[in-house]
A and B are shown apart, each in its own frame.
Chain A
Amino acid sequence: MSALALLALAMLAAVNPPAVMLAATRSEAPDRARRRRLAVPALALAVAVVGGAALLHDRWLDLLEVSAASFSLAAGIVMLAAAIPALLRGRTVEAGLLATGAGRAYAAALAAPVPASPAARSAAVAYAERDGAGATLAAAAMALAAAAAASALAQAPLTARRELALALSARALAALLVVLGAGLAVDGLRAV
């Protein structure tokens, strides 16, 4: 698997599109037509947030006054913190924000805190430092596009089978995030 594909998988785990799709099908969420209209601006905003974190990774480190190695350790812990609730509950901590019913609130949530969560932003900074900002930005854009598509295409109500498949997918990505978070943390511990 290429480095970019691995990075995209990592960002997919951090963004977790199946969890977004599950949340988007809650009864309180906007209808599908409205979610489709919101997808593009939300995606643009999310890419700006996560991509900005990747592009400005060195500025972030300067601002926080931490070395890349220490940030890697911290990012790993943040990813673990995000992954464990998702692993246990089948949805991310932020996913509840999508099921608010209000269009603007949904759009805001879809843009920033849900796919572009602190875990995704931390991952973007850590991976940009390690693998380069360009590749990380591309990987993040793919993962965020998948999340936006998941929101736009989600069809409520879900069949039981589809809901189970989505929950399992969300948990699988959360499990992957646990592995990746642990890996980043160990990298941070071992780095010079």
Chain B
Amino acid sequence: MMTLRSVAVVALFWAVVLGATRILVAPSETCGDAAAPHLRRSADSAAAWMTRAAQPDGSYLYGYDRDSDRVSLDYNEVRHAGVTMALYQAAGRFDDAGALAAADAAVAWMEGRLVRGEGWAALPTPDGRRAKLGSVGLAVVALAERRLATGEVRYDALMRELGAFIARMQRPDGSFHAIWLIDAGSVDPTATSRFYPGEALWALALLHEAFPGAGWDRRARAAARYLIEQRDEDEMIPFPPLPDHWLAYGLAEMAEWDLPADEAFARALAGRFGLLIRTEAQEGGLRPVLGKPTRISGGSLGVLVEGLAALWRLSVADPRLSHLTPAIEERLACGAAILARRQAGADEAAGSARPSLVEGAWFHHGETRMDDQQHAFSALLYAGDALQGRAQRGPDDLLAAAVAADSGAGR
């Protein structure tokens, strides 16, 4: 009959369209528990992993494969600086003296390796041949975090030296050289990096916060303008904007400076972080079809949440972006909950060969790397802040251990 045939055609058409859309484009999104105590416990556990990863020489355990029970012998000085930064954040916000001690040892490790030029200092690669803009940027951020946590100024001179290296690497248009060739005593003219400039921007912004009036803000503004207006084109980003969490940190730090960031850019960047977090919540969709893993690593998810949390602070500070705040909070809750859900807990660690390297970590294909914990920690910390309406990124009070040490030294 005509009726049945027509009905069948329509039903088949919509079954295919709706089914494919559901499976490939909008599968269900699973987040988890984003309650503040839950996120705090997760962040605590990540900080404890990083503290345990500190080695006697001031370096960190770089990575661990729990399936083969092997630790990685690789090392990366950019990630060293990044983990140190996260430990200082933990020290300041959680009054964690253990984290402070581990981070201080890591700073000593960096100090012992510095190369210096005319007024500048930089952290070389393990082979001693190059110095990366990114490692210096994150070293500045780490020391700025220490300053916020302790109120101490003992590393101010080093911060300025590292800042001078960043300034040396900056071009007149605000962009940066990525690599310094130590033997040649010159920049590598061909090297580029997608993320080092954002790290340098955040460092410049924090240098201005620490040492106002020294001109760091002028450099930070130029860097921000370049990153917003030109970087994606120069780096040939296929789907701009690049989800650069470091840029987001920098913009949030500069929120009260009359930013060059227009609303459209900030909205686009927030949208990119949001889309990627939503996709992660789906754990499926197009990824298997495209041959990609259904889950990204803890570090990769962490940077998305970090970036969005920074934009939350920006949206709270900048009235032009306030309409984004509720949506950002919704997505942050989801991203942070996923992070907490995927973290290895004590039960999971108990059954492993080295429980201390498993508990509090995020594993991807059986492996964890120190920056997985670094990014996930910062993400949980700042997402938790946003969900509780806390717009101040730094600690409320100086670290008790530092205050005690200061008063002890004064006696």
Q: How far does the Cβ of B239 sit from chain A's closest Cβ, in whole Å? A: 9
* 7 A/B residue pairs, CB under 8 Å, sorted by A: A70-B26, A74-B21, A74-B25, A77-B21, A96-B10, A118-B18, A191-B274
Interface locus among B135-143, B244-252, B324-332: B324-332
What is the chain A residue whose CB lies nearest that of B27?
A66
A69-B274, A78-B17, A192-B270 are known; give 5 further A-B pairs, CB within 8 A: A64-B28, A73-B25, A78-B21, A191-B327, A192-B328
Contacting residue for A97 out of B7, B26, B27, B330, CB 8 A: B7
- Counting chain A CB atoms within 10 Å of each CB, the highest count among B6, B29, B282, B334 belongs to B6
Residues of B within 8 A of A67 (CB): 29, 278, 281, 330-331, 334
User: Interface digits, B1-35 against A, CB 8 Å rule (1 contact, 0 not)?
Assistant: 01100110110011001100110011111100000
Task: Give the docked Cα–Cα distance between A96 and B13 (Å).
Answer: 13
Task: Give the docked Cα–Cα distance between A191 and B269 (Å).
Answer: 10
Instruction: Decide if A65 touches B21 in the complex (CB within 8 Å).
Output: no
B240-296 contacts to A (CB < 8 Å) = 267-268, 270-271, 273-275, 278, 281-282
Residues of B within 8 A of A192 (CB): 270-271, 273-274, 308, 324, 327-328, 330-331
Task: Give the docked Cα–Cα distance between A73 and B26 (Å).
Answer: 8
Looking at chain A's contact residues, the main secondary structure is helix
Closest 8 pairs (CB-CB, A-B): A65-B28, A192-B274, A74-B26, A192-B327, A190-B271, A81-B17, A100-B3, A96-B6
Contacting residue for B26 out of A64, A101, A102, A118, CB 8 A: A64
What is the chain A residue whose CB lies nearest that of B3?
A100
Task: Give the docked Cα–Cα distance between A47 and B250 (Å).
Answer: 50
Residues of B within 8 A of A74 (CB): 21-22, 25-26
Contacting residue for B278 out of A69, A78, A93, A94, CB 8 A: A69
Q: How far does the Cβ of A8 sit from chain B's closest Cβ, in whole Å? A: 24
Task: Give the docked Cα–Cα distance between A43 and B29 (Å).
Answer: 35
Instruction: Decide if B2 touches A65 in the complex (CB within 8 Å).
Output: no
Query: A-B pairs with CB below 8 Å: how many?
Result: 87
Instruction: Decide if B29 touches A66 in the complex (CB within 8 Å).
Output: yes
Task: Give the docked Cα–Cα distance between A70 and B283 (Å).
Answer: 13
Instruction: Decide if B26 touches A66 in the complex (CB within 8 Å).
Output: yes
Does chain B have a CB within 8 A of A131? Answer: no
Instruction: Decide if B271 touches A191 in the complex (CB within 8 Å).
Output: yes
A36-89 contacts to B (CB < 8 Å) = 64-67, 69-71, 73-74, 77-78, 81-82
Contacting residue for B29 out of A28, A70, A96, A99, CB 8 A: A70
What is the chain B residue whose CB lies nearest that of A28?
B2
Task: Give the docked Cα–Cα distance between A77 and B286 (Å).
Answer: 14
Instruction: Decide if B28 touches A66 in the complex (CB within 8 Å).
Output: yes
Instruction: Decide if A70 touches B7 in the complex (CB within 8 Å).
Output: no
User: Interface digits, A148-192 against B, CB 8 Å rule (1 contact, 0 not)?
Assistant: 000000000000000000000000000000000000000001111
B298-347 contacts to A (CB < 8 Å) = 308, 324, 327-328, 330-331, 334
Task: Give the docked Cα–Cα distance between A115 and B270 (Å).
Answer: 36
Instruction: Decide if A102 touches B3 in the complex (CB within 8 Å).
Output: yes
Q: How far does the Cβ of B161 sit from chain A's closest Cβ, in whole Å? A: 39
Residues of B within 8 A of A97 (CB): 3, 6-7, 10
Residues of A within 8 A of B21 (CB): 74, 77-78, 81
Q: How far does the Cβ of B4 sit from chain A's closest Cβ, in whole Å? A: 9
B334-385 contacts to A (CB < 8 Å) = 334
Does chain B have a CB within 8 A of A18? Answer: no
Residues of B within 8 A of A96 (CB): 6, 9-10
Q: How far does the Cβ of B210 sit from chain A's closest Cβ, in whole Å? A: 32
Q: How far does the Cβ of A50 sit from chain B's closest Cβ, in whole Å? A: 15
Residues of A within 8 A of B17 (CB): 77-78, 81-82, 118
Q: How far does the Cβ of B272 sit from chain A's closest Cβ, in whole Å? A: 8
Residues of A within 8 A of B282 (CB): 70
Q: How far does the Cβ of A73 sit from chain B's closest Cβ, in whole Å? A: 6
Q: How far does the Cβ of A45 sit from chain B's closest Cβ, in whole Å? A: 17
Contacting residue for A70 out of B267, B271, B278, B327, CB 8 A: B278
Residues of A within 8 A of B29 (CB): 65-67, 70
Task: Give the docked Cα–Cα distance between A70 and B276 (Å).
Answer: 11
Q: How far does the Cβ of A51 sit from chain B's closest Cβ, in whole Å? A: 20
Instruction: Decide if B331 touches A70 in the complex (CB within 8 Å).
Output: no
- Counting chain B CB atoms within 10 Å of each CB, the highest count among A28, A70, A105, A118 belongs to A70
Residues of A within 8 A of B18 (CB): 78, 118
Task: Give the docked Cα–Cα distance between A45 and B22 (Å).
Answer: 26
Does chain B have a CB within 8 A of A30? Answer: no
Instruction: Decide if B13 touches A100 in the complex (CB within 8 Å).
Output: no
Task: Give the docked Cα–Cα distance between A94 and B26 (Å).
Answer: 24
Task: Give the docked Cα–Cα distance between A114 and B9 (Å).
Answer: 13
Instruction: Decide if B270 touches A70 in the complex (CB within 8 Å).
Output: no
Residues of B within 8 A of A105 (CB): 3
What is the chain A residue whose CB lies nearest that of B312?
A192
Instruction: Decide if B30 touches A100 in the complex (CB within 8 Å).
Output: no
Does chain B have a CB within 8 A of A113? Answer: yes
Residues of B within 8 A of A190 (CB): 267-268, 271, 275
